Amino acid sequence: MTADDPTTRRWHWRAFDTAAGGLALDLGLYAVSALFAAITAVTSTLLPHRAWGAVAAVGYLVAALAVVVQLLLRRRTPTSRLAGLPARWTVTALTWASTALLPVIWQSVERTAGRTDRAQEEVLVVEHAGARLLEHGTPYLGPDAIAALPPGEQLLGYTPYQPGMALFGLPRALTDSWWTDSRVWFAVGTALALALAVAALRRAPATTAGPAAPQPHRDAALLRAVQAATVLPICALTLATGGDDLPVLALCLLALAFAAADRPGLAGIAVGLAGALKLFAWPVALVLIVWGLTRRAGARVAAGAIGLPVAALVPALLVDRDALVENVLRFPLGHGLVTSPAQSPFPGYLIASALPAGRIIAAALLVAAGVAIAVRLARRPPRTAVTTALICGYGLLAAIALMPSTRFGYLLYPLALLTWAPALHRPTGESNIPALDELSGRATSA
């Protein structure tokens, strides 16, 4: 057994992940997160981020201290319930409450009281979209209406989301209160989707044949996956200051959980709801449809995965087609009246900005990555939820790296999807960690 063997890699990862009953990695996660939040509070140029960091640093520090206490209890009494898996779930829940939910409420209250520096622009965009949906039947402004805005306000006139996102802005359109802040409803949607995903995975059979994996191993992998989607700073910060990506991510994770539970129809509905909110869910929907085809359930997956986003687009298309095209197609592709400020130093952006015809080169690389993934899907379609999650995670990682306009925060999608994969694994033996090897193993055999 060499260092490059999948079995060896699985053993190394599992040894790292389960050291001290999983508490060692918990401590590292919370300690590094506390440092990140403290640095953000001091150095960030974005005021909502600074406000988040000041609150979250305390929450992460308290969580790290709680894990230190758990480690001491475990060393003294290895079977102590206060150091076991249920206690780790409790610490995770309290950490999310203190580093994401509390900052959401805090900033929403201060914003309602008159602070203008307690929300990122996407919060305003979603709420304006909700008001337009309520008044005009479409969340989008047409190109003429956007052009008529003052130059400094034209960017906020765009709604580069799918029509369903405007639903999160409806409460603010009805009444002005802290609880109608769109971030509050992003948090509600995220929590509901993740709770359903956890319930679906816990109810799912461990395997269709052979002995089931021990429940603690499955629950430990699920806890790690939930941590990645909630208390990881990139997720907690995003929810507290902007938040629109979190319900999309949570619905994609719910869809994969339903796939692991062998419920293709519900998987299609969940990813279809995500696709009705944002384009980032559409690649996940495509891969899930291919997964469904391997189980003779492609039509059931596609009914929700394609039907729900199309149903959401039809009313906006009928009310104002030009407005829909301007916001959903032209602006994201860089052909709107103003350009997107989404710029992070990933390869696609660097190529587009530094090389002659750089945007064409970056676009060609992005297309090439898409073709490579399409060939992979055609030659070896994913037959398990694990492989589906891995393809989605690595595919979105490649897309984010090669897109000419992107944000660092978008990395929450591939990070959460790749960490979610082990929790979807339904092994026939004892191990619950080899999810990351399934894709590489099949690629090697190809």
Residues 354 and 289 both lie in one domain: yes
Residues 131 and 68 both lie in one domain: no
For the residues of 119-174, what is the DSSP string, one character each? S-HHHHHHHHHHHHHHHHS-S---HHHHHTS-GGGTGGG---S-GGGGGGGHHHHH
Residues 281 and 373 both lie in one domain: yes
pLDDT score, position 215: 61
Diameter of the chain by CA atoms?
70
312 belongs to a structural domain: yes
Residue type at 360?
A: I
List, in order, residues 6 or more apart from 356 with CB less than 8 Å away.
none
Judge whether 352 and 358 are in contact, CB under 8 Å: yes
Residues 363 and 308 both lie in one domain: yes
Last residue of a domain, which of 100, 118, 136?
118
Residues 163 and 298 both lie in one domain: yes
pLDDT score, position 350: 84
- For the stretch 175-180, contacts whose Cβ atoms lie closer than 8 Å and that sit 24 or more positions apart, written own/partner, are 176/112, 177/112, 178/105, 178/108, 178/109, 178/111, 178/112, 179/108
pLDDT score, position 124: 95
Coil, strand, or helix at residue 362? helix
Last residue of a domain, which of 57, 86, 118?
118
291 belongs to a structural domain: yes
Name the token pair of 147. 């052009």
415 belongs to a structural domain: yes
7 belongs to a structural domain: no
Nearest Cα neighbor of 13 from 425, 444, 428, 443 is 425
Judge whether 90 and 69 are in contact, CB under 8 Å: no
Nearest Cα neighbor of 396 from 381, 384, 406, 385 is 406
The DSSP symbol for 205 reads: -
Name the token pair of 224. 């790690």
10 belongs to a structural domain: no
175 belongs to a structural domain: yes
pLDDT score, position 302: 97
Name the token pair of 201. 């995975």
For CA atoms 387, 391, 397, 398, give the dihedral sign.
positive
Last residue of a domain, which of 65, 98, 118?
118
Nearest Cα neighbor of 183 from 232, 128, 120 is 120
Residues 134 and 106 both lie in one domain: no
List, in order, residues 6 or more apart from 296 with CB less than 8 Å away.
none
CA atoms within 13 A on the CB side of 328: 26
Residues 52 and 99 both lie in one domain: yes
3 belongs to a structural domain: no
pLDDT score, position 332: 80
Residues 149 and 208 both lie in one domain: yes
Judge whether 364 and 418 are in contact, CB under 8 Å: no
Total residue length of the chain: 446
pLDDT score, position 363: 84
Domain range for 108: 15-118
A 10 A CB-CB count for 281 gives 27
Residues 366 and 222 both lie in one domain: yes
Residues 102 and 167 both lie in one domain: no
Alpha helices in 380-426 (DSSP H): 385-402, 412-424
376 belongs to a structural domain: yes
Task: Quote the CA–CA distance of 38 and 32 in Å, as a whole number.
Answer: 10
pLDDT in tens, the chain (446 residues): 444 444 445 555 566 777 888 899 999 999 999 999 999 999 999 999 999 999 999 999 999 999 999 999 998 888 888 889 999 999 999 999 999 999 999 999 999 999 999 999 999 999 999 999 999 999 999 999 999 999 888 989 999 999 999 999 999 999 999 999 999 999 999 999 999 999 999 887 654 433 444 566 778 999 999 999 999 999 999 999 999 999 999 999 999 999 999 999 999 999 999 999 999 999 999 999 999 999 999 999 999 999 999 999 999 999 999 999 999 988 887 778 887 776 677 888 788 788 888 778 888 888 999 999 999 999 999 999 999 999 999 999 999 998 877 788 899 999 999 999 999 986 543 333 334 444 444 433 33
Residues 412 and 304 both lie in one domain: yes
For the residues of 51-82, what is the DSSP string, one character each? HHHHHHHHHHHHHHHHHHHHHHHHHH-TT-GG
Residues 111 and 126 both lie in one domain: no
Q: In the chain, how many domains are there?
A: 2
List, in order, residues 6 or more apart from 274 with CB less than 8 Å away.
247, 248, 249, 251, 252, 255, 280, 281, 284, 285
pLDDT score, position 366: 87
